[in-house]
Amino acid sequence: MIAMLAVPLLGAAVLVVFPGPARHPWYGAAVSGVTLVLALALAVRFDHTRAARPQFTVDVPWIPGLGLRFHLGIDGISLPLVVLTALLTFLCFVHLVRHRPEQGRIRALVIALLVLEVGMTGTFLALDLLLFFVFFEIVLVPMYFVIAVWGGAGRRAAAVKFILYTLLGSALLLLGLLLVWAHAGTLDMVRLAQAQGAGLSRAVQIIAFLAIGLGLAVKAPMWPLHTWLPAAHTEAPTVGSVLLAGVLLKMGTYGFARIAIPVLPEGAAALAPWLGAFAVAGIVYGSLACLAQRDLKRMIAYSSVGHMGFVLLGLATLTPVGMNAALFGNIAHGLITGLLFFVAGGIKERYGTTELPRLGTGMLARLPYLGSLLTFACVASLGLPGLAGFWGEMLALLGAFQPAAGLSRPLFLVFMAVGGVGTVLTAAYFLRMLSHLTHGRPPAGTIGGGSRGAALLDVSAYELAAWTPLVVLTVVLGLWPKALLSLTDPVVQAYLGTR
Amino acid sequence: MIQSIDYAAIASPLVLALMAGVVLLLDAFLPRTGRTRTTLGLVTLAGVLAALAVPAVQALSGARLRTFCVPAGLSRDPGPPPCSFVVDHLTLVFGAVALAAGVVVVLLSMAQLAESTIPPGEWYFLLLCTLAGAVTLPASRDLIMLVIALELVSLPVFALAALKRYDARGSEAALKMFLVSVVSTAVMLFGVSLLYGLTGSVHLSAIAARLAAAPVAPGASVPPAVPVGVLTVAVVLVLAGFAFKIAAVPFHFWAGDVYQGAPVPVAALLSVISKAAGFAGLILVLTTALAGQARLWGPVVAVLAALTMTAGNLLALRQRHAVRLLAWSSVAQSGYILAPLGVAGKQAVPASVAYLVIYAAMNIGAFAVVAAVSREGGRNELDDYRGLAFRAPVPALALAFFLVCLAGLPPGLSGMFAKIVVFREIVAGGAGWLAVVMAVNTVIALYYYIAWTARLFTPASAPAPSSASGPAASALTIAITLGLVASVAFSVAPQLVLSIAG
């Protein structure tokens, strides 16, 4: 359990002291590979019949003066995210083996990514409010450097925007957590969730939910707090975008499912309509913004805003169906958008740009594998039945059809209708982009590509190795959603007190 | 009548004062060579280390020492007679912080003096005097002793700032600081005299007893023995005196010019030792003498804290000069330290002290790196730090760590936990507005800290000057290492600080 955190941390520490291993292309992949094996071992040994209870717990006091315990554990809703984190990090390193960033200094990049992995994994494992916050913060500085050092042209501004926005959210989150602590007297998430808000007055719950919710909403990101995201995603290097979209955004929605809703049920009930309203606004806004984009990476970034809107809508219903949809959507979005950003990075490497007009048409004819993968990822992202993206959106809308008792049903029916329009718009922009980019004739002569000329390389073996697991998982989860839902459902039922 | 003096209690300031005399004598009789400079530095270092051993021994023995007490027959109050010099937990913590920071400042001074025309004897003498004051102040338990100790901390610093002769900036810094200091001392003395007039005593515990006997009740039909209006004025005036020491609003204007104009070791001294002394005095007066009047000073301190952190951070935002930036950032940090006192909860003092201890470690470390970089030449602008990570990886990584600590982000966990302690105290005390102000301030502060940190890792266009070696460089290396070890230790095990602060 601790090894999940210790392995990447030690890996990074070794690099800080000895510069040697960094030159070895497989170093990072090896370290994160060990972590992935550990995560898979946890998944295998995980007792599925008791998915609602945290397993493999570690609980030792760290800072008694603050009441902070080093309390880790894994249950049905954290297990998929932990595996996803380990998987995506490993795939990023596999991708890096061959596709070094142009700015060089691979050693620092490996260190940053490993520290990032520690923070992301720790966030999903923590069962102590302050420990959660500590891990939540750990990701900020490495991600800042990943964007600011290895990013695109406007990287400096994007990185500063990213870190200031998210720190503002974190500060609010901390205030909310401390408020919960001051009134409930414990930092133990398990006990707080079991208490179902007992001992916290309604006013305290609302204020705390507002503070925690705003803090997490910046991270998620929820419209209208999303403005850091397109810049950060567009400027970040490929591996940065993948981890940012695949894992970092999930930390926000995971926080809702893990802390805000179970610990503060009354606050959640009071503010859920607002959350739902902002969520559907995000869905529609994200889709419309996508329609107007001329840059591929920017478009994927805005599509994330829309997808996270579905996740937030699922959470806002406060029903088991909606919560399961949100957790499912989290994983599906991590897989699909991770793949999309990998492909977009591949396109950028070959064409030297991600601007749609300059990419030209006929990618399927020029680069058949890359074009097919792009098509696959887009189709999965727009929620084609049979692929992973479908279930998260469909179940979220289903949850909104029948929201929790105490929430206004007509209001959520409106949300459902607007969200439905959003799915149509999502389909529209992806199909429009695909028809423009992949179909048609390849332009004559050499467009893009720079010195490499017309002979663009199709998908390399390393890229294929990094992308195939994502494709396979997308199909598997699309055809067999119960694999994931059976894990998350017991926890959700326990949190919402429906069992 | 002859007072008995407990020399064990006053050992720490006594050692410092004696060493100050020794240094002055050595300077007079030793030849003026480069070796003498080093010798004087080492003698000073030995003195500070010896003085630092005293609180360590006192803490281990666990005895509560007191001396300069009012003789039993002369005490007007029942109970134990009030004493002027008390060695308790607070005294030891503040004394140890000041002396540990003193060790680093002496090391920085050795590097600074190795290559300049500053007279070493005077420098070390003044430095030791300041440290003696900083150690005496947290032990003082009467108003007169407090004022004297405070002046003993301040006066040598003016001279230290001006010792770089024929340097216009240094002279300006010294003069500016002198004027603000004199005004604030005068204001404070006025407040002290009012407090004495109201209560008839200078001993903090006696003042508290006298004020508790005459409760402040604005609506009472019987006229209170202590007029509320006069007491308020006295409290505000005393607060103002300490506000200068800790560079709180509205006495913060001097910080930027003085830190920049003075030699770097003096700036480090001002930002840690002199500030710790100011906070010690403030905490003593507020929580010992005026403990029952928290309703009166609490809101004032809270507003001061909010203004101080905001002003400091906003001023730091636009700085291009490294030391100036640290000056304003340390003003902002003063605001964070003040904040728990404004709530006046049960755990307010431990929260402030914990923040102060952690702040001392990370700030002195940052100054140590700045001192090292300023030796490379250049004007110590932020742009001089461009690419430092490639020229000098160890100092650069250390500085990055200190800055991230000051910003309060992981991996700088010590700074983060310090902020959490303060936030917890504010939230538990119910001052939501102050918590929000502080939250916004941490975001503002992050902007300039992260901008500076990012510069360290940006490739420089100009070729790097080769860094010099020698005793000066090794002194700096030791100084940086000390700051780094302390900050890393506090990051891994913040409980160290929390348990000694509590």
pLDDT digit string, tens, across residues A421-450: 988 888 888 888 888 888 777 765 544 444
Whether cis (ω within 30° of 0) applies to the bond prior to A224 is yes
Block residue for tokens 């591996």: A239
* Eight-state DSSP code of residue B405: H
Residues A195-218 have pLDDT tens digits of 887 778 888 889 899 999 999 998
Q: Is residue B103 part of a domain?
A: no
Distance CA A186, CA A181 (A): 6
Q: Do B494 and A63 touch (CB under 8 A)?
A: yes
Residue B400 within any structural domain of the chain: yes
pLDDT at residue number A444: 57
State the Cα–Cα distance between residues A398 and A241, nearest whole angstrom: 30
Judged by a CB distance cut-off of 8 A, whether residue A456 touches chain B is no
- Cβ of B406 under 8 Å from any chain A Cβ? no
Domain borders along chain A are 2-496
In this predicted complex, what is the ipTM? Answer: 0.85
User: Measured between alpha carbons, how far is A442 from A97 in angstroms, rounded to an integer?
Assistant: 30
Mean per-residue pLDDT of chain A = 84
Identify all chain B residues contacting A137, using CB atoms and an 8 Å cutoff: 409-410, 416
Asked, for residue B373, whether it belongs to a domain, the answer is yes
Rounded Cα distance between A162 and A147, Å, is: 9
User: Has residue B492 been placed in a domain?
Assistant: yes
Question: Is B194 part of any domain?
Answer: no
Other CB atoms within 10 Å distance of the CB of residue A410: 7
Share of residues in chain A with pLDDT > 90 (%): 7
Q: Is the residue at B106 inside a domain?
A: no
List B residues 339-368 in contact with A (Cβ-Cβ < 8 A): 354
Residue A310 tokens read as 């579905």
Per-residue pLDDT tens over the stretch A235-248? 888 888 889 888 88
Structure token pair of residue A190: 């398990």
Q: A-B interface: how many C-beta pairs under 8 angstroms? A: 88
Partner B contacted by A485 (CB < 8 A): no
DSSP string for residues in B289-328: ITGGGHHHHHHHHHHHHHHHHHHHHHHHHT--BHHHHHHH
- Choose among B404, B443, B450: nearest Cβ to A171: B443
pLDDT at B432: 84
- Nearest-angstrom CA–CA distance, B258 and B372: 19
Distances (CA, A) of B440 to A179, A274, B313, B344, B447: 17, 24, 10, 22, 11
Q: Helix, strand or coil for residue A19?
A: coil
Rg (CA), chain A: 22
A140/B439 touch (CB, cutoff 8 Å), yes or no = no
Q: Is there a contact between A182 and B421 if contact means CB atoms under 8 Å apart? A: no
Question: According to DSSP H, which parts of B115-227 are helical?
Answer: 120-136, 143-162, 168-199, 204-213
Task: Give the Cα separation of A357 and A390 in Å (integer).
Answer: 29
As given in the structure block, the two tokens for residue A287 are 């889709």
Give the number of other Cβ atoms within 10 Å of residue B303's Cβ.
Answer: 14
Over chain B (502 residues), the average pLDDT of each successive run of 10 is 76 90 88 81 90 86 79 68 84 91 92 81 92 92 90 90 80 87 89 88 85 59 66 88 84 85 89 91 88 83 92 90 91 92 84 92 92 78 82 87 89 87 87 89 90 83 56 83 90 83 69
Count of the separate structural domains present in chain B: 1
Distance from CA of A327 to the nearest CA of B (A): 27
* β-bridge pairing A55-63 and A68-74: antiparallel
- Residue listed under structure tokens 């419309």: A288
pLDDT for res B367: 92
Query: What pairs with residue B87 in β-bridges?
Result: B65
CA dist B190 → A438, B143, B240 (Å): 82, 12, 11
- B497 falls within a domain: yes
From residue B460, how far is each of A107, A151, A157, B47, B463 by CA, in Å?
19, 18, 19, 42, 7
| Interface subset of A 80-119, CB within 8 angstroms of B | 108, 115, 119
Interval A448-483: pLDDT, tens: 444 444 456 777 778 888 888 888 988 888 888 888
Q: What is the pLDDT of residue B76?
A: 65
Give yes or no for a cis peptide into B120 (omega within 30° of 0).
Answer: no
pLDDT at A453: 42
